[in-house]
Amino acid sequence: MTYVVIDNCIACKYTDCVEVCPVDCFYEGENMLVIHPDECIDCGVCEPECPADAIRPDTEPGMEAWVEFNRKFSEMWPVIITKKDPLPDAEDRDGETGKRDKYFSEAPGEGG
């Protein structure tokens, strides 16, 4: 089992989760985070830290595509271990549907 970041992180990018991760398996894109599924140790401490409820176990139905999505971008983006401010419209975008098609960017974040 692993945990993955899903579309509710897009355009919010809360980073509360990165500070509690004991193995530093979060990676930062321009407008979201992902978890490297091969580095995640399945501890689950990140899941309750996410204000946007954007972290899920891969055992939930329909998560296979998100595992591959997280894998792909964690290999392209820099690691992030330090909490940063969320994106300016995070509160407005939290819970919005269709965020992957509307807002997702493949560009890397700064990491750090």
Q: Which CATH number fits the domain that encloses residue 31?
A: 3.30.70.20
Residue 77 amino acid letter: W
78 close to 28: Cβ distance less than 8 angstroms: yes
Which tokens in the block code for residue 38?
Answer: 């091969």
Q: Is residue 97 part of a domain?
A: no
Q: What is the pTM of this model?
A: 0.96
What digits encode the pLDDT tens for the residues 11-49?
999 999 999 999 999 999 999 999 999 999 999 999 999
- Grouping H, G, I as helix, E, B as strand and the rest as coil, residue 39 is coil
Q: Is residue 65 part of a domain?
A: yes
Q: Is residue 107 part of a domain?
A: no
Q: Is residue 74 part of a domain?
A: yes
Range of the domain at 68: 3-86
Domain total of the chain: 1
Q: Is residue 93 part of a domain?
A: no
